[in-house]
Amino acid sequence: MRRLLLALLPIATILSACTSTDYDLVRTASIPPRFQDTDPQDFGGRTPHHHSIHGIDVSKWNGDIDWMKVKNSGVSFAFIKATEGKDRVDARFQDYWPRARAAGLAYAPYHFYYFCSSADAQADWFIANVPKSAVYLPPVLDVEWNGESKTCRYRPSPETVRFEMKRFMDRLEAHFGKRPIIYTSVDFHRDNLVGAFNDYHFWVRSVAKHPKDIYVDRRWAFWQYTSTGVIPGIQGHTDINAFAGSPKNWKKWVAAVSQ
């Protein structure tokens, strides 16, 4: 029962503590970008830079990372690719997460889902390759269509998608004691997730418009707003994300989920 309460507490904390001004904050005053961007977008009055807490998501393609420089630049958290499908581990995962921890960043592993493998096979793979110490923030399930994949372009029905996601996330929650975060893209959400999983945190990709404009009735916790960001300590482009709540919300949520 205690594990279940810990899993549910972060949801209650962020949703009850955040006011309407914490989520989707709207102001008209100009706010300078928190980080450089080689291809910045005009989000109008609802810019991600209204939000105080920002983080990155990385994989082996980001190469060598100076995690202390990343932390000192103002980055608060890192989502780190761990596994993919039922048989792939990101080559930099076991290097990245201990270094992110040592730098004082909040961190979490993510799994890229393949619909050509079963939920149980993928959950087994993630659990086998991700130690509990690597799950400081809740683990992330990355679900999007694999249009460029050479091995799996299968698109199951929305019912099958939701069933498999739930099975995978239930397995992770039972093992790690933390309810997973769902990462998704605009088209995948439209095809499968509208109105579903409202008791889960969502991390949404929206690099041209504010999430409110394209995710129907979706209350989001994290917003991936660029894939062309520039972060000190990382060479090349970096995905950057904003946390929806205030710094106070962030501290309470991290304290709750990092037990």
71-124 residue pLDDT tens: 999 999 999 999 999 999 999 999 999 999 999 999 999 999 999 999 999 999
Is the predicted pLDDT of residue 14 greater than 90, yes or no? no
Specify the pTM: 0.90
pLDDT band at 11 (very low <50, low <70, confident <90, very high): low
The residue type of 114 is: Y
More confident residue, 23 or 221: 221
Q: How far apart are CA 123 and CA 126, in angstroms?
A: 5
Q: How far apart are CA 122 and CA 112, in angstroms?
A: 9
Mean of all residue pLDDT scores within the chain: 90
Answer whether residue 155 is part of any domain.
Answer: yes
Answer whether residue 212 is part of any domain.
Answer: yes
Asked if 198 and 216 touch (Cβ cutoff 8 Å), the reply is no
Answer whether residue 89 is part of any domain.
Answer: yes
Answer whether residue 26 is part of any domain.
Answer: no
Give the DSSP per-residue string, 28-77. -S----SSEESS----TTS-GGGSS-EEEEE-GGG-SB-HHHHHHTT--E
Answer whether residue 28 is part of any domain.
Answer: no
Catalytic residue set: 57, 144
What does the pLDDT look like over 174-226, one tens digit per residue?
999 999 999 999 999 999 999 999 999 999 999 999 999 999 899 999 999 99
pLDDT (average), residues 49-63: 97
Q: What 3-state class would DSSP assign to 112?
A: strand
In this prediction, residue 17 carries a pLDDT of 45
In this prediction, residue 1 carries a pLDDT of 45
Least reliable range by pLDDT among 15-24, 31-40, 47-56, 154-163: 15-24
Answer whether residue 33 is part of any domain.
Answer: no
Query: The CATH number of the domain where 88 resides is what?
Result: 3.20.20.80
Who's near 37: CB < 8 A, 6+ residues apart? 226, 228, 229, 230, 240
Query: How many CA atoms are closer than 13 Å to the CA of 98, on its beta-carbon side?
Result: 5
User: Hey, which of 38-47, 121-130, 213-222 has the most confident mean pLDDT?
Assistant: 121-130
Structural domain span for residue 166: 47-258
Who's near 180: CB < 8 A, 6+ residues apart? 138, 139, 140, 141, 169, 172, 173, 200
Sign of CA dihedral 169, 175, 180, 185: negative
The total number of structural domains that make up the chain? 1
pLDDT band at 31 (very low <50, low <70, confident <90, very high): confident
CB burial string 170-194: b at 16+ within 10 A, e below: ebbbebbbbbbbbbbbbebbeebbe
Asked if 180 and 172 touch (Cβ cutoff 8 Å), the reply is yes
Q: What 3-state class would DSSP assign to 10?
A: helix
Strands 106-112 and 88-89: unpaired
Is the predicted pLDDT of residue 20 greater than 60, yes or no? no
Let me know the angle formed at the C-alpha of 169 by 167 and 173, rounded to the nearest 5 degrees: 120
In this prediction, residue 131 carries a pLDDT of 98
pLDDT band at 32 (very low <50, low <70, confident <90, very high): confident
Answer whether residue 125 is part of any domain.
Answer: yes
In this prediction, residue 10 carries a pLDDT of 54
Q: How many CB atoms lie within 10 A of CB 114?
A: 19
Answer whether residue 82 is part of any domain.
Answer: yes
* Nearest CA among 80, 66, 44 for reference residue 209: 44
The residue type of 155 is: R
